[in-house]
């Protein structure tokens, strides 16, 4: 089948055809006959979402640097394209060479959020690849996955052949070498998977069996082959300053979600917010040097022509040399009008000064994330920001000329009461009052309050906690809607039903594989797109398989329960997490270990004592 | 200093699905890569000063995408051409660079020529000739146009100036269309093809290219470059 020829006919009829046409600047094309491993990097969402993801960009260019490897991209086709493809019998194909996915050696999925799982299944289905790992033959591609979701791989353990846990830059190359080696010997998937399971950071679920207790909880997950680790330790890059980072990156034609040059300044975060999974699993903190970053930025802008650079990390203001970095970058790019954007900024007087510098070049909105409405609850979640800090920063921002402020909160946090919700509304009104104080009136002011619903995540102190019931989520949103009636405040909230499903899958076990298959059969896909999401189909899938989703989302866990994700070792001690949970219940904060003493999270012990700035254990 | 330069750009097969807005963005980024001395607007959100000829629907290649851009420095046209052409994305290339001074404004163009390759299936050339003749003689061809969610009918008949049959090769026929293209009114080949399909349902489009765009005034043709 000549896919190119059929595309000629159908692309003019679909929305946003550049999602499928490829040919962007800096795209890499290779001769398929001259390579040894053909890898499809698959992102289970549309092009504009997937292309905004840094990990995919890094792996694409890193893999293509290898002479033997040809890495191509594939995204989930939007529903209009999917309909056309099914009608014309076009299998899912890669963007670069328009090769059917089933002809690749390896397909690597990037799992960034649980609600993309149905798209993983749909993409396999569109590619004509069996959904379950056990059904695949030697001629089928090896299906691998990475990303933050794989810290609990179990809900996909029967679908994905192999998970890469943690930062993949090194492990992926080891897998590629192994693949070439196996291809030259037996070429069987069994041999490949058996040998791959020996690579640190690689989890092959087919070689681990799950045993359950009578109450339905998991008793243990044990390796079924000799020589496999009981827990798979995550991989991470020790020397971030010298790790490969692409600069000749692809520049999409269409307007993607984050359409700018991304400069990754550090990985990890030691703030220790108790709800935050990223803050735990990406430890330890590792920074890149200012010199390196400035070089990367310069090369990237030269190779792409981007008009904006965004500093990427979990908490931009925690970069040790932020002031210097920003001074150099703003000077460097003043004349060429390349703007700087700083997401995830904690706003205080220091960062406000930085924000003013950036405003010299470009104006962007201001976002604050107090997460909770009262000091008590902020202490519970260890979000070290006070109302005074926030209002001072807001005052500074208003004085500096801003008039648009976004406030992010979470509802349903452990121990939350209506008093805490009231606090959210009060804080929003105080921001309005502050504007009036500074400007004399409320003219031009826009305050946006957004709430998401707390989802307990694996490897966080709150992994033992229950999510509040769905009805209660909706009750609390209703309450806030009423409290936030003000012409200058607009209130957005995240669909509680999605948060509920996210809670099910983030702490799910292997039984959920069947639910996923059932939900896919019922047509579930693009669940994070509100116009496509169908909650009722999901609920039908659960009841037909005979699984109660509340068991996963709304059940508080006992201290001793074994968790399905504990087949993975992210380097964070269970004892530390439990200590943190107990401190949370007493609303006792734990200061950042970079500025305080070490709290013994365990990351120092991973790989026998590694670089970590904390010195003295608790 | 303010130097206004006009460029004629070609959009080929590899880039034919990119929208007008995408093309504008791609060209701005290319000029940044070429380190051309772009003049920016004042204010919080500085943008380079760019103007273009009217947009064409996606899926159409073009030899005539014109862009005016302002620079802060005088550079030779050859230098601009070679610096920019070497950094353009696949499927986009420069045809010509010239000063914009003393030329018609790009907003003045009102007419374009297209090559439309069609397949007429089992219909004959005579049938096609008849269909074109009928179409050209009509004073009213109403087509649906959606804008901002509302559907309205537009008469495209006065905007179709000519359709000629060109080369024929393995059953595929080249049509040369001369259509209105500009602020006063415009129609694009897909709409004309739709109208032709009323007479020949088996007709389908293989390829469309915009060949030329210009100002037609008092019987005289003036090109942007």
- Quote the pLDDT of residue B214: 97
Q: Which residues of B126-137 are buried (b: 16+ CB within 10 A; e: fewer)?
A: eebeebbeebee
Tokens 């800090």, residue located:
A389
Boundary of a domain, candidates B74, B103, B132: B103
Q: How far is B84 from chain A (nearest CA, A)?
A: 12
Helix axes of B20-33 and A290-304: crossing angle, nearest 10 degrees: 120
Looking at the DSSP bridge assignments, the partners of residue B3 are: B71
pLDDT at A289: 97
Provide the pairing of β-strand B3-11 with A568-569.
Answer: unpaired
Residues B147 and B50 grouped into a single domain: no
Longest Cα separation, chain A: 78
CA-CA-CA-CA dihedral for B149, B153, B158, B162, to nearest 10: 70
Confidence of residue A361 (pLDDT cuts 50, 70, 90): very low
- The answer to whether the CB atoms of A24 and B87 lie below 8 A apart is no
- In whole angstroms, give the CA distance from residue A444 to residue A115: 37
pLDDT in tens, A112-158: 999 999 999 999 999 999 999 999 999 999 999 999 999 999 999 99
CB within 8 Å: B26 and A336: no
Q: Does B86 lie in the same domain as B40? A: yes
Judge if B131 and B95 occupy the same domain.
no
How far is it, in rounded angstroms, from Cα B62 to Cα A596? 63
Which CATH class name applies to A366-511+547-556?
A: alpha beta
Kindly report the backbone phi and psi dihedral angles of residue A47, in degrees, each rounded to the nearest multiple of 5, phi listed first. Answer: -50, -50
CB pair distance less than 8 Å for B33 and A17: no
3-state secondary structure A148-202: HHHHCCHHHCCCCCEEECECCCCHHHHHHHHHHHHHHCCCCHHHHHHHHCCCCCE
Q: Which residues pair with B165 in a beta bridge?
A: B175
B73 touches chain A (CB under 8 A): no
Structure tokens at A582: 């107990």
Report the pLDDT value the prediction gives residue A340, as an integer from 0 to 100: 87
Are residues B71 and B121 both part of a single domain?
A: no
User: Residue A55: CA atoms inside 13 Å, Cβ hemisphere, count?
Assistant: 22
Phi, psi angles (nearest 5°) of residue A561: -65, 135
**Residues making up chain A, counted from first to last:** 618
Residue A359 pLDDT grade (very low, low, confident, very high; cuts 50, 70, 90):
low
| Separation in Å, CA of B48 to nearest CA in chain A | 10
Helices (H), A66-170: 79-88, 117-127
Do the Cβ atoms of B58 and A12 come within 8 Å? Answer: yes
Q: Would you say residue B224 lies in a domain?
A: no
B32 found inside a domain: yes
Nearest to A304 among B17, B29, B90 (CB): B29
Total tally of structural domains belonging to chain B: 2
Q: From its phi and psi, is residue A344 left (phi > 0), alpha (psi between -120 and 50) or beta?
A: left
pLDDT 10s digits, B101-137: 999 999 999 999 999 999 988 888 899 999 999 999 9
Q: Give the span between the Cα atoms of B14 and B11, in whole angstroms.
A: 8
Which of A364-373, A524-533, B72-81 has the least mean pLDDT?
A364-373
Nearest alpha-carbon partner for A607 in A570, A577, A576: A570
Nearest residue of B to residue A360, measured between CA atoms: B44
The side-by-side arrangement of strands in the sheet containing A339-341 is A261-264, A308-312, A339-341
Using the beta-carbon criterion (under 8 Å), do A253 and B22 form an inter-chain contact? yes
Could you give the CA distance from residue B222 to residue B225 in angstroms, rounded to a whole number?
A: 8
Q: Within its chain, how far is the Cα of A147 from the centroid?
A: 7
Q: How far apart are CA A93 and CA A126, in angstroms?
A: 9
Residue B190 has pLDDT above 50, yes or no: yes
Mutate to test the interface with B, among A12, A98, A299 (most CBs of B within 10 A): A12
| In the predicted structure, residue A343 carries a pLDDT above the cut 70 | yes
Chain A residue whose CA is closest to B205: A9
Q: How far apart are CA A41 and CA A61, in angstroms?
A: 11
Closest residue by Cα to residue A172 from A151, A130, A142: A142
Q: What is the CATH number of the domain that holds B209?
A: 3.30.70.3190
Mean pLDDT of all residues in A163-190:
94
Residue whose pair of structure tokens reads 């020996």 in the numeric block: A198
CB atoms within 10 A of CB A611: 11
Is any Cβ of chain A less than 8 angstroms from the Cβ of B37?
Answer: no
pLDDT at A347: 62
B125 and B67 in a single domain? The answer is: no
**A393-420: pLDDT as tens digits:** 888 888 878 888 899 999 999 999 999 9
d(CA B59, CA A272): 51
Look at the block and give the residue holding tokens 């529903």. A79
The distance from CA A435 to its chain's CA centroid, rounded to whole angstroms, is 35
Residue ending a domain, among B79, B103, B127, is B103
Q: Does position A267 have pLDDT exceeding 60, yes or no?
A: yes
Reduce the DSSP state of residue A335 to 3 states and report it.
coil
Which candidate in A11, A23, A309 is best for mutational testing of the B interface (most B CBs within 10 A)?
A23
Tokens of A349: 């007087």
B115 and B196 in a single domain? The answer is yes
Residue A612: both structure tokens together: 């970590």
Residue A402: what pLDDT?
A: 82
Q: What are the start-end ranges of the E strands in A190-287? A: 202-203, 208-212, 218-223, 232-233, 261-264, 266-267, 286-287
Using the predicted structure, report yes or no on whether residue A362 has a pLDDT greater than 80.
no
Most B CBs within 10 Å, among A20, A21, A297, to test the B interface = A21
By C-alpha distance, which of B189, B190, B182, B186 is closest to B211?
A: B189
Domain that holds residue B200: 110-219
If asked whether residues B79 and B158 sit together in one domain, one would say no
Q: Say how far apart CA A442 and CA A437 lie, in whole Å.
A: 9
Give dist(CA A382, CA A460) in Å, integer.
Answer: 12
Angle, alpha carbons A30-A33-A34 (nearest 5°)? 65
Residue A618 binned pLDDT confidence (cut-offs 50, 70, 90): very low
Q: What is the distance in angstroms between the CA of the first residue and the CA of the last residue of chain B?
A: 23
Contact B59/A21, CB-based, under 8 Å? no
CA distance A297 to chain B (A): 13
Rounded to the nearest 5 percent, the helix, strand and coil shares of chain B are 25, 40, 35
B225 part of a folded domain: no
In angstroms, rounded to a whole number, what is the distance separating the alpha carbons of residues A65 and A67? 6
For residue A89, the distance in angstroms to the closest alpha carbon of chain B comes to 21
Instruction: Give contacts of B 108-137 with A, CB under 8 A.
Output: none
Select from A389, A393, A324 the least CA-distant residue to A357. A324
Q: What is the ipTM of this complex?
A: 0.90
- Token duo for residue A456: 């307990």
Cα–Cα distance measured from residue A543 to residue A142, given in angstroms and rounded to the nearest whole number: 31
Q: Report the residue of chain A nearest B31, measured CA to CA.
A: A305
Residues B99 and B9 in one domain: yes
- A615 contact partners, CB below 8 Å, separation of at least 6: A597, A598
Between strands B204-217 and B61-71, the pairing is parallel
In chain A, what percentage of residues exceed pLDDT 70? 95
**In this predicted structure, what is the pLDDT of residue A357?**
67
- With an 8 Å Cβ cutoff, are B22 and A27 in contact? no
My answer on whether B99 and B141 are in the same domain is no
Average confidence (pLDDT) over A12-38: 95
Domain A3-225, CATH 3.90.1150.10 — does that match? no
Q: Write phi, then psi, for A499 (nearest 5 degrees).
A: -65, -35
**B44 at A interface, C-beta within 8 A:** yes
Res B154 pLDDT > 80: yes
Inter-chain contact B59–A254, Cβ cutoff 8 Å? no
Inter-chain residue contact B89 with A254, CB threshold 8 Å: no
DSSP tag of A105: S
Q: Tell me, what's the pLDDT at A209? A: 98
Q: What span, in angstroms and rounded, lies between the C-alpha atoms of A427 and B76? A: 59
Cβ atoms of residues B58 and B19 within 8 Å: yes
Beta strands in A122-217 (DSSP E): 142-146, 162-164, 202-203, 208-212
Cβ pair A304:B91 closer than 8 A: no
Q: Check CB contact under 8 Å for A336 and B32.
A: yes
Q: Check residue A243 and report its DSSP letter.
A: S
Measured in angstroms, the CA of A488 and the nearest CA of chain B are apart by 23
A400 Cβ neighbours under 8 A, 6+ residues apart: A352, A355, A356, A359
Q: How many Å apart are CA A292 and CA A571, to the nearest integer?
A: 28
What integer pLDDT is reported at residue A404 of this predicted model? 87
Of A357, A329, A356, A355, give the one whose Cα is nearest residue A343: A355
A430-482 pLDDT, tens digit per residue, is: 999 999 999 999 999 999 999 999 999 999 999 999 999 999 999 999 999 99
- Candidates B81, B82, B24; CA nearest to B51 is B24
In the DSSP assignment, the letter for residue B167 is: E
In this structure, are strands A308-312 and A339-341 parallel, antiparallel, or unpaired?
parallel
State yes or no: pLDDT of A423 exceeds 90: yes
Distance CA A593, CA A616 (A): 10
CA atoms of B67 and B50, how far apart (whole Å)? 7
d(CA B163, CA B133): 9
The structural domains of chain A, with segments of one domain joined by +, span 3-225, 260-364+588-618, 366-511+547-556
Identify whether residues B94 and B141 lie together within a single domain. no
Q: Contact A23/B28, CB-based, under 8 Å? A: no
Query: What is the predicted pLDDT for the residue at A616?
Result: 45
**Fold: same for A3-225 and A260-364+588-618:** no
Q: Give the mean pLDDT of B5-30.
A: 95
Closest approach of A576 to chain B, Cα-based (Å): 47
Of A17, A251, A304, the CB nearest to B17: A17
CATH 3.30.70.260 fits A260-364+588-618, yes or no: no
B19: domain CATH number is 3.30.70.580
Among candidates B44, B59, B89 on the partner chain, residue whose Cβ is nearest the Cβ of A11: B59
Q: Which among B56, B78, B103 is the end of a domain?
A: B103
Give CA angle at A322 (A316, A324), nearest 5°. Answer: 160
Q: Interhelix angle for B189-197 vs B125-137, to 10°?
A: 110
């Amino acid at each position: 089948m000549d896919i190119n020829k059929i595309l000629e006919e159908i692309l003019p009829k679909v929305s946003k055809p550049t999602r499928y046409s490829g040919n962007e600047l800096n795209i890499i094309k290779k001769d398929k006959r001259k390579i040894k491993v053909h890898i499809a990097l698959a992102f289970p969402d549309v092009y504009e979402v997937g292309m905004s993801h840094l990990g995919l960009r890094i792996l694409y260019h890193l893999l293509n640097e290898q002479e033997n490897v040809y890495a191509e991209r594939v995204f989930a086709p939007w529903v209009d394209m999917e309909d056309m493809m099914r009608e014309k019998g076009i299998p899912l194909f890669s963007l670069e060479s328009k090769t059917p996915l089933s002809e690749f050696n390896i397909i690597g999925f990037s799992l960034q959020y649980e609600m993309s799982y149905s798209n993983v299944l749909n993409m396999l289905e569109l590619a004509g690849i069996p959904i379950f790992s056990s059904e695949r033959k030697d001629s089928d591609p090896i299906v691998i996955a990475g990303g933050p979701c794989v810290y609990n791989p179990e809900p996909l353990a029967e679908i994905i052949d192999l998970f890469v846990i943690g930062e993949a830059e090194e492990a992926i190359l080891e897998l590629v070498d192994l693949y070439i080696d196996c291809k030259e010997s037996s070429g069987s998937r069994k041999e490949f998977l058996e040998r791959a399971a020996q690579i640190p950071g690689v989890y092959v679920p087919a070689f681990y069996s799950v045993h359950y207790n009578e109450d339905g909880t998991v008793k243990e997950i044990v390796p079924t082959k000799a020589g496999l680790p009981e827990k798979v330790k995550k991989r991470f890059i020790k020397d971030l300053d010298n790790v490969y980072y692409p600069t000749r990156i692809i520049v999409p034609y269409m307007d993607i979600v984050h359409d700018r040059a991304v400069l990754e300044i550090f990985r990890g975060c030691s703030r220790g917010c108790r709800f935050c999974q990223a803050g735990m699993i990406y430890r330890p903190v590792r920074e890149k040097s200012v010199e390196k970053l400035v070089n990367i930025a310069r090369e990237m802008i030269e190779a792409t022509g981007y008009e904006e650079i965004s500093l990427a990390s979990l908490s931009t203001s925690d970069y040790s040399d932020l002031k210097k970095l920003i001074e150099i970058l703003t000077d460097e790019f003043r004349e060429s009008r390349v703007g700087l954007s700083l997401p995830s900024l904690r706003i205080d007087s220091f960062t406000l000064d930085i924000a003013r510098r950036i405003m010299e070049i470009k104006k962007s909105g201001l976002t604050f994330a107090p997460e909770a409405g009262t000091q008590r609850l902020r202490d519970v979640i260890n979000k070290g920001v006070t109302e005074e800090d926030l209002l001072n920063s807001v005052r500074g921002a208003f004085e500096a000329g801003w008039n648009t402020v976004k406030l992010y909160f979470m509802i349903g946090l452990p121990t939350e009461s209506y008093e805490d919700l009231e606090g959210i509304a009060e804080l929003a009104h105080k921001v309005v009052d502050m504007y009036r104080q500074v400007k004399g009136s409320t003219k031009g002011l826009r305050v946006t309050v957004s709430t998401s619903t707390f989802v307990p995540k694996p490897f966080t102190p709150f992994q033992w906690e229950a999510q509040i019931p769905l009805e209660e989520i909706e009750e609390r949103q209703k309450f806030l809607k009423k409290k936030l009636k003000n012409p200058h405040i607009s209130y957005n909230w995240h669909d509680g039903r999605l948060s509920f499903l996210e809670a099910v899958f983030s702490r799910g076990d292997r039984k959920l594989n069947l639910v996923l298959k059932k939900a896919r059969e019922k047509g579930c896909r693009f669940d994070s797109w509100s116009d496509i999401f169908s909650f009722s189909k999901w609920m039908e899938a659960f009841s037909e398989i005979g699984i109660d989703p509340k068991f996963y989302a709304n059940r508080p866990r006992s201290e001793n329960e074994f968790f399905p994700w504990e087949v993975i070792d992210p380097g964070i001690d269970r004892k530390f997490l439990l200590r943190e949970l107990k401190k949370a219940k007493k609303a006792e904060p734990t200061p950042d270990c970079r500025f305080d003493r070490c709290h013994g999270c365990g990351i120092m012990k991973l790989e026998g004592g590694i670089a970590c700035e904390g010195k003295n254990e608790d | 200093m303010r130097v206004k330069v006009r460029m004629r750009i070609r959009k080929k097969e590899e880039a034919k699905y990119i929208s007008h807005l995408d093309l504008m963005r791609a060209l701005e980024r290319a000029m940044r890569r070429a380190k051309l001395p772009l003049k920016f607007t004042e204010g919080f959100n500085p943008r380079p000063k760019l103007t273009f000829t009217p947009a064409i629907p996606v899926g159409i290649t073009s030899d005539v995408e014109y862009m005016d851009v302002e620079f802060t420095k005088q550079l030779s046209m050859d230098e601009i051409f070679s610096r920019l052409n070497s950094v353009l994305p696949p499927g986009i290339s420069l045809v010509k660079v010239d000063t914009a001074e003393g030329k018609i404004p790009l907003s003045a163009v009102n007419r374009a020529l297209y090559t439309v390759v069609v397949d007429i299936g089992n219909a004959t050339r005579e049938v096609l000739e008849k269909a074109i003749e009928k179409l050209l003689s009509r004073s009213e061809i109403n087509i649906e146009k959606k804008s901002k969610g509302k559907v309205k009918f537009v008469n495209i008949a006065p905007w179709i100036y000519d359709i000629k049959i060109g080369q024929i090769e393995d059953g595929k026929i080249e049509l040369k269309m001369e259509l209105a293209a500009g602020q006063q009114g415009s129609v694009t080949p897909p709409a004309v093809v739709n109208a032709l399909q009323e007479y020949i349902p088996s007709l389908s489009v293989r390829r469309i290219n915009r060949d030329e765009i210009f100002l037609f005034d008092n019987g005289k043709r003036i090109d942007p470059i």
